Amino acid sequence: MDPEGSLFVFGVDGLGEISPGDDLAALIAEHASLLEGDVVVVTQKIVSKAEGRTVRIGTSDPEAKRLLAESEAVRVLRRRGDLVVTETRHGFVCANSGVDLSNVAEGWAVLLPEDPDRSARRLRDGLRARTGQRIAVIISDTFGRAWRRGVTDVALGCAGIRPVVDLRGTKDALGRELVATEVCVVDEVASAADLVMGKARSVPVAVVRGVDPAFLGEGAVIEEVVRPYAEDLFR
């Protein structure tokens, strides 16, 4: 057991219902005791609500949701029943362009943030101003995957943490060069955070404490994690 390299992950609750214009940094700083180097993971849902990224569709008809999802997409990759797998303007490949009707008032839908990395940077700056600490931020959402059943949480945007850490220059335990190990640490942190959030318990924020300081730094999910269409073997 190595307490120095250990992680501690806890949820932050009690933020209340989020409305357009709410100051998430102030709310989070008020409800959590944050330390230098903490990574704060915030679910996309409350970021979108605070940014006013909700639209009134006036119905919970799956057809209306599908039409909205397609209007948010640059490309529809697959259709199966009510499900559309789309590519969003950001380049995310996900179900229904991330359009979501759960945890929002009846007849309303929540869209993804316009620029989740920018949302993360704003939150990071706000937390810095309020706490005096350097805090990293990840905006997370729940995506399905190819080839494997079940959803997991991934990062839509980040600030203060490197999205992909390239370990190619490092040696393995036997002293040989590692060939290709670019780890998407922001997705791993988002997944770790989801384990304390719980879909039904509706804990919208988690803190991951103890992330390797070598992972902290700058970078954007859109630039480093989203695989461009031309480079992708599976679209």
Near its own copies in 134-173, by CB under 8 A? 142, 145-154, 163-164, 167, 170-173
Three-state secondary-structure class, residue 71: helix
Instruction: In whole angstroms, give the CA distance from residue 139 to residue 142.
Output: 11
Q: Which of 6, 63, 213, 230 binds its own copies (CB under 8 A)?
A: 6
Q: Which of 58, 195, 217, 218 binds its own copies (CB under 8 A)?
A: 195
Instruction: In whole angstroms, give the CA distance from residue 93 to residue 74.
Output: 10
Minimum CB distance to its own copies, residue 198 (Å)? 7
Question: Which residues ranging from 104 to 133 are in contact with its own copies (CB under 8 A)?
Answer: 104-106
Minimum CB distance to its own copies, residue 199 (Å)? 5
Minimum CB distance to its own copies, residue 59 (Å)? 14
- Strands 136-143 and 39-43, by their bridges, are parallel
Closer CB to its own copies, residue 51 or residue 187?
A: 187
Question: Which residues ranging from 30 to 89 are in contact with its own copies (CB under 8 A)?
Answer: 32-33, 77-78, 80, 85
Closer CB to its own copies, residue 89 or residue 227?
A: 227
Is residue 159 a contact partner of residue 121, using CB atoms and an 8 Å limit? yes
Closer CB to its own copies, residue 63 or residue 106?
A: 106
16 Cβ contact list (under 8 Å, min separation 6): 27
- Strand order through the sheet with 93-95: 73-80, 83-88, 93-95
Q: With binding defined as CB under 8 A, does residue 23 bind its own copies? A: no
Minimum CB distance to its own copies, residue 111 (Å)? 17
Task: Give the DSSP letter string of 17-45.
Answer: ---TT--HHHHHHHHS---TT-EEEEEHH
